[in-house]
Amino acid sequence: MNASRKLLLALWVSLVQAATCQAQAPLKLWNIHPDGYPVSVALNSFAEDVKKITDSRVVIEVFSNGVLGDQPKAVQMVKSGEVEMAEFGLGPLSQEVKSMNAINLPFLFANAEQMFRLLDGAMGNQFKTRLEAGGYVVLGWYDGGARSFYCVNKKLTGPRDFAGLRIRVQSTDIYLELVKLLGATPVAVPYKDVLAAFESGKIDCAENNLPSFVSAGHYKFAKNVFVTEHVITPEALVMSTKQWAKIAPADQAKLREAGQRSALLMRQLWQKRVIESREIAIKSGVKFEAPTEFGAYISRMKPLHQKYWTDPATRTELMTILASGIK
Ligand code: GTR
């Protein structure tokens, strides 16, 4: 091949490459949290990481603040492939993969380390396989924190105080049942609308982790926190299984590596954020109260635990958790 032909060929190859790159629209990554929140920081770092290690073959755009819709909608959009990626709380995902309910039961873990020991091991891999079949490829287990109750004009000090309260929950079976068993009325409200529900008086209480309590502004209304830490839960960075199939295997491996790195970063940032959130809340006049003993709460949860212990979809996972010696 003479020199001018070679030059022509090289020019043609680079034009084709440029055209292919342009045609590749960035993958959309759904996120409910605002900028600066540990999840958002970790997702932005994930997007940068992926771009770098795939030489821009995979480019991700993070859409924070739930601008693409609320969580129930996002779960469906990822399943259908309309949105390629998302970071979800576990509630909605366990509606899809029933065995995941096992790790969302109340008063199961004492801390996140116990939970991550299982999720970073064989149990987590099994959940990943099931979620993948259900439409979600897990790229990293994030920390969803320890969830406690908080109320407007009502100080909770014991199990009887829950009677008659309207408590916001995610629209997930376990949370709905948990609140009913405490004698209160669950009100399912999407996360984005909880602040307005406090403002309008539609709810008396809600439950969440401290970073969300503060970043979503709930602490401005609900000045009494009852530190039950009733659910210690993970979250997941996921990609739509439909979209995953379009990624070359070598890049899939890179996405998994970057996902895991982002999860570790998120877990580190989380610890610091919990402390900061507590300080912000205290400064604004929020009062923290903790139960003196948990027996009464745990015995109220019996029907919920019994239900999942007898359900074949969750029994094996619960036995694995029990055998791991944490309970
Ligand atoms: C937050 C969590 C969200 C969502 C939200 C809620 O802590 O990060 O994914 O689950 O709680 O209560 O709806």
SS3 letters for 144-202? EEEEEEEECCCCCCCHHHHCCCEEEECCCHHHHHHHHHCCCEEEECCHHHHHHHHHHCC
CA-212 nearest atom, ligand 1: 7
- CB of 98 closer than 8 Å to CB of 179: no
Q: Which residue has its alpha carbon closest to ligand 1 atom 7?
A: 212
**Strand ranges, E, within the chain:** 27-30, 60-63, 85-89, 136-151, 166-169, 185-188, 205-208, 224-240, 287-289
The pLDDT of residue 22 is above 50: no
Over the stretch 257-274, which tens digit does the pLDDT of each residue have?
999 999 999 999 999 999
Confidence grade of residue 238 (pLDDT, cut at 50, 70, 90): very high
The pLDDT of residue 188 is above 60: yes
Residue of 292, 323, 303 whose CA lies nearest to 118 = 323
**CA 35 to chain centroid:** 16
- CB of 156 closer than 8 Å to CB of 149: yes
Q: Which helix (H) or strand (E) holds 48?
A: helix 38-53
CA-89 nearest atom, ligand 1: 9
Model pLDDT, residue 8: 57
- CB of 174 closer than 8 Å to CB of 105: yes
Task: Specify the pTM.
Answer: 0.91
Dihedral of CA atoms 81, 241, 131, 45 in degrees, nearest 10, equals -90
CA-190 nearest atom, ligand 1: 13
Model pLDDT, residue 306: 96
CA-87 nearest atom, ligand 1: 9
Q: Which residue has its alpha carbon closest to ligand 1 atom 3?
A: 89
Tell me, in angstroms, the distance from the centre of ligand 1 to residue 170's CA: 8
- CB of 267 closer than 8 Å to CB of 144: no
Average pLDDT over residues 191-220: 97
Tell me, in angstroms, the distance from the centre of ligand 1 to residue 119's CA: 19
Helix (H, G, I), strand (E, B) or coil at 30: strand
Q: Which residue has its alpha carbon closest to ligand 1 atom 5?
A: 191
Average pLDDT over residues 161-181: 96
Q: Return d(Cα 40, Cα 43) in angstroms, integer.
A: 5
Q: Return d(Cα 179, Cα 162) in angstroms, integer.
A: 9
**CA 63 to chain centroid:** 15
CA-191 nearest atom, ligand 1: 13
Instruction: Identify which of 143, 208, 270 to mutate to test ligand 1's pocket (most ligand atoms within 8 A of the CB).
Output: 208
The pLDDT of residue 15 is above 80: no
Ligand 1, CB within 6 Å, residue ranges = 32, 71, 88-89, 91, 144, 170, 191, 208-209, 212, 235
Q: Which residue has its alpha carbon closest to ligand 1 atom 6?
A: 191
Tell me, in angstroms, the distance from the centre of ligand 1 to residue 89's CA: 6
Q: Which residue has its alpha carbon closest to ligand 1 atom 9?
A: 89
- Which residues lie closer than 8 Å to 294 by C-beta, 6 or more apart? 107
Confidence grade of residue 6 (pLDDT, cut at 50, 70, 90): low
